[in-house]
């Protein structure tokens, strides 16, 4: 054996490809062998006939000898496989209906699985698209009510933290308050184009390990006060705006009226929005100049790269040592230590990966399980279809067995069939998944992280192969074993249409259907609970009316000698702007605010009610909004007291509007209107109380909010909000023309219906709900097909029996009832099992639900009614057929 | 089909064929089969046809050569002859079988 095996293997392969000459050679050799044998026998005195017969006897089976020789010289395994495949393709081709249904079911099951796998892989499994991304951590204070301002650090705090921490190679950050479309690009005399520029600290890309595709990254000199403005382009923006012009590096562009130099283009693999602000687009990156932001308070979240070998736990311990030393602003010594709150927890270090995708972990796992269940249902269904086929093909296999086919050989043949079916399903499913993935990757408004980096890759193909093989084994093995183990004699004798035959068969198939119904039930309950939660979320009173309203970012120039002059100038500009927009036909109300709800937000310290003391830490900093008169009406917010007036300017007493939650805390049981808040030594006169607005997210708790007049405090941004009596989109043109007439520099900003902002905020929930819903629908469809298949098949098998019963006097109604009864009993068991399983599963997804109990009776009742209704329809069709059986025909045929 | 049994038979037959060719020189398939039947005193009930699987296997391993030629009584036949490597292999196999037979004999006689 040891010697010559390599040569033999090579010869075997050669022989495999030269079947015909080798066969001819063997034939000639065998013929010559027989002739010699006959000759010798004749010489011994036999008659020629006897001689020939004896020669044949001594030679043994000619065909066996041939096959043995072929097996010895060639690749018998491949030969058998080829035979099986040819045979399979023939039989499947004959049964085109079955094949189509099977392949389609599998394609749906496998396609959905691969698409979801790609999403899960991108968001959850794959490391972030940075080198040694496991070293990257997100450093932020623990979540608090005061929004982004309490989730970020000031420049002074950052610099101190960076200097004192021992765990990091380096730490960086970006300006979390960068709003969309914050810059405008003017090319020649063209209209200014809005774009989003993200401000990052100078070492941002070095910490992340991102290298520019063209040009260079930021230098330390770029971040000094008074440095020439430089920008890095994001790949997608470079392609879109500059048509991928490689010569752009070093060129100067007009950014918001100032010259800026493009120093580089970022690689395609880097997408700021995909990692740090899902659902929004960042076009270019500019250096954050610390000295300009030093007095702006908390603006940057921190991202650190741990030293090799340092764990997140160690970094956390290190950070807790450093935090008490941090100052909000070193100019104010009393601000030192302000990053420690009275609850003790002051800082949280977690992996960047966890920050980016941790929230979605459970949703994605639920999605993955749901899609896995779909494949499971599809396999159970196919198993059933194959069992039905197996019953019909019982004779064929009994015959093959009688002709000498071994059991293993038949199971192998059936597994080949399963693999070919699942292979075809996989190929089709791959196409489906590819299309789904390509579509999903371009859903920019879907606020899921890393979605734009979603692509179809080798891992997805690998997963497809795994799915295909798993599916083939799942749905093919049982029918295969059953068929191969059938009793030969019984099958051959039995015509396959006897009334009592195949009882065991039916039990197996009924069990499969019960499993299918159970799985579908679990899926439907899950989808139902998520749907109820989603409806509850949509039903939330946001504190403003998102319909019939839209917003647009506006640019204005209020530059003046001092703050008061600026405020006065701003007031004039805003008043004119709102006056002009308000007279446009269809506009009911208009106002300006610096931050819209559900977007970035900030806080400005903690005012206290005049003359009252609260224990330290009892009051948190309210979120701050700076707005003009009319803003609250345009938003559809409910205000008690009075709105701001245009004369609430720099010269008059300072007025604020607070939200109901803040009012309840400051003056419990009293009317807040007319009271005074103290912010340091400044008196803030409360002129109104507004109903709570969902500011941070649709689902999160409502915090405290305080609104200032745009003529008394400086807004950080300006969004014009318009409430209209016509669809808001129709106003886009006239509003932009009005703004341009006032300020030619006004870029063509997106005219964003408020509904869109809300939709974006709930898009992840909608996405998961929709997908699980689709999977549940698919599961229901497959389960109903399964029910129909089993009942219809049972009716076909029992045609004769039903005929006899009807001939003996059974009425049509009775026959129908018995078929329906069988369906119902099967489905009821399935629903029972499914409901129990659902109760267990629902507890696992409880954290994904909103305002809905995991045991929500409405959902369960709905699902049970739905399943029973579908089952009745699926059972009714065969039942009707059964009741129409003509006893005479039934008894005559067969 | 029980594979193990077949393997043993195959191996045995392969060795018989090699030995026959070593003893008789060039020979065709029928000749080899007859010779094995005679030498074994007709104790081996050989389906002569099976010898061709054995021959092709030995040939693929490079232990025997084959060539078409003319037999004594003027018939076209394929003649096999043992190669140098075949002789070496035969020596090894014979030694192995002797040892095995001896051990088996001892075990069975105790």
Question: Contact B50/A65 with Cβ under 8 angstroms?
Answer: yes
Q: Which among A165, A201, A194, A158 is positioned nearest to A179, based on CA atoms?
A: A194
- pLDDT value for A3: 61
Tokens describing residue A801:
């029996």
Q: Cβ contact (<8 Å) for B60 and A11?
A: yes
* pLDDT-derived band at A893, boundaries 50, 70, 90: low
Q: Collect all residues with Cβ–Cβ distance below 8 Å to A2 and sequence separation of at least 6.
A: none
Q: Cβ contact (<8 Å) for B76 and A32?
A: yes
Q: Cβ contact (<8 Å) for B60 and A62?
A: no
Cα(A809)–Cα(A163) distance, integer angstroms: 96
From chain B, pick out residues whose CB is under 8 angstroms from the CB of A30. 49, 52
Does residue A488 sit in helix, strand or coil? Answer: helix
Strands A623-627 and A705-709: parallel
Is the pLDDT reported for residue A502 higher than 60? no
Q: Which among A544, A633, A555 is positioned nearest to A588, based on CA atoms?
A: A633
Strands A258-265 and A252-255: antiparallel
In this predicted model, what pLDDT tens digit does every residue of A860-888 receive, in sequence order?
999 999 999 998 888 888 888 888 888 88
Cα-based angle A559, A563, A564 (whole degrees, multiple of 5): 105
Please indicate if any CB of chain B lies within 8 Å of the CB of A3.
yes
- The alpha-carbon gap from B62 to the nearest alpha carbon of chain A, in Å, equals 7
From chain A, pick out residues whose CB is under 8 angstroms from the CB of B48. 33, 37, 58-60
Please indicate if any CB of chain A lies within 8 Å of the CB of B91.
no
Candidates A5, A32, A58; nearest CB to B48: A58
In this predicted model, what pLDDT tens digit does every residue of A212-249 receive, in sequence order?
999 999 998 999 998 999 999 999 999 999 999 999 99
Q: Collect all residues with Cβ–Cβ distance below 8 Å to A377 and sequence separation of at least 6.
A: A109, A516, A519, A520, A523, A778, A779, A782, A783, A786
Cα(A721)–Cα(A741) distance, integer angstroms: 18
* pLDDT-derived band at A315, boundaries 50, 70, 90: very high
Question: Contact A22/A1 with Cβ under 8 angstroms?
Answer: no
Does residue B12 sit in helix, strand or coil? Answer: helix
pTM: 0.77
| Phi/psi of residue A232, nearest 5 degrees | -110, 135
Placement of tokens 């090579």 in the chain: A10
From chain B, pick out residues whose CB is under 8 angstroms from the CB of A18. none
**For residue A486, what is the DSSP state?**
S
Candidates B30, B33, B57; nearest CB to A72: B57
Tokens describing residue A42:
């004749």
Is the pLDDT reported for residue A503 higher than 80? no
Please indicate if any CB of chain B lies within 8 Å of the CB of A80.
no
**For residue A338, what is the DSSP state?**
T
From chain A, pick out residues whose CB is under 8 angstroms from the CB of B29. 29, 33
In this predicted model, what pLDDT tens digit does every residue of A748-791 receive, in sequence order?
888 889 998 898 888 888 888 888 888 888 889 888 888 888 88
Greater confidence (A742 vs A191) lies with A742
Cα(A873)–Cα(A857) distance, integer angstroms: 24
From chain A, pick out residues whose CB is under 8 angstroms from the CB of B60. 4, 7-8, 11-12, 15, 73
The sign of the CA dihedral A12, A13, A15, A16 is: positive
Chain A residue nearest residue B72, CA to CA: A36
- pLDDT value for A518: 92
Q: Cβ contact (<8 Å) for A73 and B71?
A: no
State how far the alpha carbon of A734 is from the alpha carbons of A14, A740, A893, in Å: 79, 10, 79
What are the structural domains of chain B?
6-109 (1.10.10.10)
Candidates A7, A29, A64; nearest CB to B61: A7
Cα(A532)–Cα(A513) distance, integer angstroms: 28
Q: Is the ipTM of this complex over 0.95?
A: no
| Range A287-315 average pLDDT | 91
- pLDDT value for B38: 85
Q: Which among A881, A882, A872 is positioned nearest to A810, based on CA atoms?
A: A882
From chain A, pick out residues whose CB is under 8 angstroms from the CB of B28. 32-33, 36
| Range A800-826 average pLDDT | 86
Average pLDDT value for chain A: 87
Does residue A172 sit in helix, strand or coil? Answer: strand
From chain A, pick out residues whose CB is under 8 angstroms from the CB of B65. none
The sign of the CA dihedral A491, A493, A495, A497 is: negative
**Residue A10 burial by CB count (10 A; 0-12/13-18/19+): exposed, middle or buried?**
exposed
Q: Cβ contact (<8 Å) for A7 and B57?
A: no
From chain A, pick out residues whose CB is under 8 angstroms from the CB of B17. none
Contact pairs from chain A to chain B, CB under 8 Å: 93
Tokens describing residue A127:
């490391």
Strands A258-265 and A230-233: parallel
Tokens describing residue A889:
């025909």
Cα(A660)–Cα(A307) distance, integer angstroms: 47
Candidates A3, A11, A25; nearest CB to B89: A3
Please indicate if any CB of chain B lies within 8 Å of the CB of A39.
yes
| Range A838-846 average pLDDT | 89
Cα(A720)–Cα(A260) distance, integer angstroms: 28
Please indicate if any CB of chain A lies within 8 Å of the CB of B86.
no
Of chain A, the percentage scoring pLDDT greater than 90 comes to 40
- pLDDT value for A501: 47
- pLDDT value for A600: 79
- The alpha-carbon gap from A505 to the nearest alpha carbon of chain B, in Å, equals 29
In this predicted model, what pLDDT tens digit does every residue of A363-410 receive, in sequence order?
899 889 989 989 999 998 888 888 877 777 777 777 877 887 777 777
Q: Which among A346, A357, A350 is positioned nearest to A136, based on CA atoms?
A: A350
Cα(A655)–Cα(A92) distance, integer angstroms: 80
Greater confidence (A547 vs A498) lies with A547
Q: Which residues pair with B76 in a beta bridge?
A: B70
Is the pLDDT reported for residue A812 higher than 90? no
Q: Which residues pair with A261 in a beta bridge?
A: A230, A252
Q: Cβ contact (<8 Å) for B47 and A59?
A: yes
* pLDDT-derived band at A710, boundaries 50, 70, 90: very high
CB atoms within 10 A of CB A587: 22
Please indicate if any CB of chain A lies within 8 Å of the CB of B85.
yes
Cα(A661)–Cα(A664) distance, integer angstroms: 5
Q: Cβ contact (<8 Å) for B75 and A25?
A: no
Helices (H), A44-173: 48-59, 62-73, 76-94, 96-120, 155-164
Q: Cβ contact (<8 Å) for B50 and A68?
A: yes
Q: Cβ contact (<8 Å) for A69 and B75?
A: no
Chain B residue nearest residue A1, CA to CA: B61
């Amino acid at each position: 054996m040891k010697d010559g095996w390599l040569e033999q293997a090579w010869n075997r392969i050669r022989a495999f490809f030269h079947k015909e000459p080798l066969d001819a050679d063997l034939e000639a050799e065998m013929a010559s062998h027989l002739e010699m044998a006959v000759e010798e026998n004749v010489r011994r005195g036999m008659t020629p006939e006897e001689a020939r017969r004896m020669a044949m006897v001594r030679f043994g089976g000619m065909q066996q000898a041939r096959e043995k020789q072929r097996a010895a010289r060639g690749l018998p395994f491949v030969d058998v496989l080829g035979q099986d495949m040819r045979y399979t393709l023939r039989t499947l081709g004959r049964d085109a209906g079955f094949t189509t249904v099977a392949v389609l079911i599998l394609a749906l099951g496998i396609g959905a699985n691969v698409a979801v796998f790609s999403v899960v892989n991108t968001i959850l499994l794959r490391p972030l698209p940075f080198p040694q991304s496991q070293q990257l951590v997100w450093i932020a204070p623990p979540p608090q009510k005061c929004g982004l301002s309490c989730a970020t650090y000031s420049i002074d705090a950052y610099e101190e933290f960076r200097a004192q921490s021992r765990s990091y190679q380096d730490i960086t950050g970006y300006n979390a308050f960068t709003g969309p479309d914050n810059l405008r690009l003017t090319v020649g005399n063209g209209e200014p184009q809005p774009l989003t520029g993200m401000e990052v600290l100078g070492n941002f890309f070095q910490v992340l390990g991102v290298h520019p595709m063209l040009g260079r990254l930021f230098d330390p000199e770029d971040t000094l006060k008074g440095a020439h403005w430089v920008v890095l382009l994001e790949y997608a923006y470079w392609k879109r705006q500059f048509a991928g012009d490689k010569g752009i590096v070093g060129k100067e562009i007009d950014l918001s009226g100032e010259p800026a130099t493009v120093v580089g283009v970022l690689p395609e693999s880097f997408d700021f929005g995909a990692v740090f602000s899902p659902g929004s687009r960042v076009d270019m990156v500019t250096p954050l100049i610390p000295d300009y932001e030093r007095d702006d308070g908390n603006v940057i979240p921190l991202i650190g790269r741990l030293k090799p070998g340092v764990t997140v736990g160690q970094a956390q311990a290190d950070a807790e040592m450093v935090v008490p030393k941090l100052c909000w602003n070193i100019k104010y010594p009393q601000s030192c230590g302000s990053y420690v709150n009275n609850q003790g927890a002051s800082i949280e270090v977690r992996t960047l990966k966890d920050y980016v995708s941790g929230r979605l972990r459970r949703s994605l796992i639920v999605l993955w399980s749901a899609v896995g269940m779909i494949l499971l249902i599809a396999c159970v269904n196919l198993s059933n279809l194959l069992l039905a086929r197996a019953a019909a093909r019982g004779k064929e296999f009994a015959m093959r067995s009688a002709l000498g086919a071994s059991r293993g050989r038949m199971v192998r043949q059936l597994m080949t069939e399963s693999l070919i079916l699942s292979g075809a399903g996989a190929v089709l499913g791959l196409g489906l998944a590819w299309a789904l993935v390509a579509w999903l990757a371009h859903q920019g408004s879907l606020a899921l992280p890393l979605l734009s980096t979603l692509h179809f890759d080798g891992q997805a193909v690998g997963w497809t192969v795994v799915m295909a093989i798993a599916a083939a084994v799942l749905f093919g093995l049982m029918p295969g074993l059953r068929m191969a183990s059938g009793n030969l004699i019984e099958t051959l004798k039995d015509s396959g249409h006897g009334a009592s035959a195949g009882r065991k068969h039916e039990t197996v198939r009924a069990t499969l259907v019960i499993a299918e119904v159970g799985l579908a039930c679990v899926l439907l309950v899950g989808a139902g609970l998520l749907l109820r939660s989603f409806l509850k979320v949509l039903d939330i009173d946001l504190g403003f009316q998102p319909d019939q309203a839209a917003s647009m970012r506006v640019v204005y120039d209020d530059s003046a000698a001092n703050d008061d002059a600026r405020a006065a100038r701003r007031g004039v500009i805003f008043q004119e702007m709102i006056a002009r927009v308000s007279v446009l036909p269809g506009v009911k109300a208009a106002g300006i605010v610096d931050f819209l709800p559900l977007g970035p937000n900030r806080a400005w310290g903690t005012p206290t009610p005049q003359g009252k003391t609260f224990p330290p830490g009892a009051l948190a900093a309210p979120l701050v909004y700076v707005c003009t008169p009319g803003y609250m009406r345009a938003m559809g917010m409910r205000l008690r007291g009075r709105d701001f007036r245009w004369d609430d300017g720099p010269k008059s007493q300072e007025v604020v509007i607070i939200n109901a939650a803040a009012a309840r805390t400051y003056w419990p049981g009293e009317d807040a209107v007319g009271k005074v808040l103290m912010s340091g030594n400044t008196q803030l006169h409360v002129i109104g109380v507004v109903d709570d607005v969902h500011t941070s997210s649709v689902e999160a708790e409502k915090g405290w909010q305080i609104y200032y007049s745009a003529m008394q405090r400086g807004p950080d941004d300006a969004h014009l909000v318009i409430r209209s009596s016509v669809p808001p989109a129709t106003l886009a043109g006239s509003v932009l023309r009005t703004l341009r007439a006032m300020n030619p520099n006004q870029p063509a900003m997106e005219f964003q219906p408020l509904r869109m902002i809300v939709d974006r905020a709930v898009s992840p929930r909608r996405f998961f709900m929709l997908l699980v819903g689709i999977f549940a629908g698919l599961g229901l469809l497959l389960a109903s097909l399964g029910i129909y298949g089993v009942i219809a098949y049972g009716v076909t098998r029992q045609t004769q029996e039903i005929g006899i019963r009807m001939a003996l006097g059974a009425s049509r109604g009775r026959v129908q009832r018995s078929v329906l009864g069988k369906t119902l009993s099967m489905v009821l068991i399935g629903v029972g099992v499914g409901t129990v399983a659902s109760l267990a599963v629902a507890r696992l997804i409880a954290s994904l639900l909103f305002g809905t109990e995991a045991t929500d009776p409405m959902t369960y009742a709905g699902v049970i009614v739905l399943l029973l209704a579908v089952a009745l329809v699926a059972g009714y069709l065969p039942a009707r057929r059964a009741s129409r059986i003509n006893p005479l025909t039934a008894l005559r045929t067969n | 089909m029980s594979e193990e049994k077949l393997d043993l038979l195959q191996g045995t037959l392969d060795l018989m064929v090699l030995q026959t060719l070593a003893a008789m020189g060039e020979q065709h398939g029928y000749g080899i089969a007859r010779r094995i039947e005679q030498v074994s005193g007709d104790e081996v009930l050989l389906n002569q046809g099976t010898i061709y699987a054995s021959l092709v296997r030995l040939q693929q391993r490079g232990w025997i050569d084959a060539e078409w030629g003319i037999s004594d009584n003027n018939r076209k036949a394929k003649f096999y002859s043992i190669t140098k490597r075949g002789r070496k292999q035969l020596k090894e196999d014979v030694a192995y079988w002797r040892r095995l037979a001896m051990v088996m004999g001892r075990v069975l006689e105790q």
